Structure 1
């Protein structure tokens, strides 16, 4: 199973680039959440972890440490550009390292799919000494999805439909890069809580607790049972994660 780590750039006390009534941290989070949902609803053969699912402050070290400790196969760091340009560009690490050719091959597939889905002006494939690319233990790409200080790009970034197109471009690129197959299961999948109360989790991490759910609560499953540190989880439609232990939950389809 291919493990995909999706990083929504900036967050919390770090707004990122700001312009035309937008903050980068909010746009990147919207794209990352959409990307997760498209991957989990439309494709099989992978698992997804997000660096953040809320407006959360995380250091760059924390982000790459999460991806590295999870053993991700690929890292995508989602950003919005600024500085007076327009269009889309992507980056890989500019150093000399083992696997550089494969990293750039994967990046080309992701890059071209995003351009095709969005019709962004293609600013090209580039390299840079960015932390997210340099400190990741796996191949990584950083995407710059339009310019927040360009009125035309910003108008597009305010459109939920356009953000979905950006996310879909990322998903198609990842599917092409890693051979993910389109989902063939048309049955809806559900999980019901069997115990009085049960924690859910922001990410696929037993320590990242979110909210408590109660006996009888039913949730739609968007990612089937997958291993997490000695146990198993499901991902539910809200984007949260829940245990797959049959002593605590009942899984069913209809």
Structure 2
């Protein structure tokens, strides 16, 4: 069985520890790792549905595992592929699009990167330049994940957090559909690389996310502020998510269709996609 390591870029504490990897808008921090985690979870589901075994060493929404620790582990596990998920940033707000990095001497990694570019293009999204970047020594492309892995490895940058249109896809009102579409593009590229017929009947649907209230009663919030209480909702109520899980002062929230915010703690709410 094919075995793929899904490498989730950064960690839940990367921003707090001064590592950047996110953007601030209207005083709210949007962390790259949160988006990477959402894509990884959906990719994990799709690959498993298509008979591909997966490994997630960096857990979603969890503290960061160091790069050397990651690649040492992947190499020890002899996985067939390392697929790293990221979002990009730039000092220029006009920079946009998606791209993939591969080690410059690996024809297999280049082929997989090409398949990624084809699939995101087929999904209707543009690329950053050609979408292909050879990772090589003594340049800004000298990426650890591409360089230190013993197997085929590709690192994807799935849009620019600093671009208005891409921001809406990565963190904003279009996030649920974008996460589903990007994860599907990843899965299709990987299946094509391993000559596996991709089956899209795994429940992907429209990619719309919903939450069901599990607690007897639960506060909602007017803004992304735990102190700004709005109204109470009750067990069994279901709400449409318009902004997926994001970090707020020690916890995580969703934004729902009414515009209100609610905890993302799985003890109190159940999230599902259809």
TM range (shorter): 0.5 to 0.7
Measured after TM superposition, the shift of residue 56 of structure 1 is: 2.1
Quick check: 1:176 aligned with 2:192? yes
Cα distance in 2 between the residues matched to 1:111 and 1:74? 17
Q: In the alignment, which residue of structure 2 is the partner of 1:9?
A: 9
Cα distance in 1 between the residues matched to 2:32 and 2:186? 17
Q: Is the 1:17–1:148 Cα contact (8 Å) retained in structure 2?
A: no
1:75-125 Cα shifts (integer Å, max 9, x gaps):
11111000021011111123x4xxx12221122112221232242334220
1:9-35 Cα shifts (integer Å, max 9, x gaps):
000321352224521111111111111
Cα distance in 2 between the residues matched to 1:119 and 1:57? 29
Gaps of 5+ in 2: 135-140, 203-274
1:177-199 Cα shifts (integer Å, max 9, x gaps):
1112345999xxxxxxxxxxxxx
Q: Is the 2:33–2:61 Cα contact (8 Å) retained in structure 1?
A: no
SS in 2 for 1:181: coil
1:116 to 122, 127, 130: 122
CA 165–118 in structure 1, closer or farther in 2 if over 3 Å, else same:
farther
CA RMSD of aligned residues (A): 2.0
Instruction: Map 1:117-132; keep pairs closer than 5 Å.
Output: 117-124=123-130, 125-127=132-134, 128-132=141-145
CA 167–77 in structure 1, closer or farther in 2 if over 3 Å, else same:
same
Give the number of equivalent residue pairs.
180
Instruction: Map 1:27-106; keep pairs closer than 5 Å.
Output: 27-41=35-49, 43-44=50-51, 46-51=52-57, 52-83=59-90, 84=92, 85-94=95-104, 96=105, 100-106=106-112
SS in 2 for 1:61: helix
Cα distance in 2 between the residues matched to 1:184 and 1:18? 31
SS in 1 for 2:71: helix
Gaps of 5+ in 1: 187-254
Cα distance in 2 between the residues matched to 1:101 and 1:145? 22
Cα distance in 2 between the residues matched to 1:31 and 1:185? 18
Q: In the alignment, which residue of structure 2 is the partner of 1:135?
A: 148
Q: What's the TM-score once normalised by structure 2's chain length?
A: 0.61
Question: Which structure has more RCO (C-alpha within 8 Å, separation ≥ 6)?
Answer: 1
Q: Is the 1:86–1:153 Cα contact (8 Å) retained in structure 2?
A: yes
CA 184–76 in structure 1, closer or farther in 2 if over 3 Å, else same:
closer
Q: Is the 2:14–2:21 Cα contact (8 Å) retained in structure 1?
A: no
SS in 2 for 1:123: strand
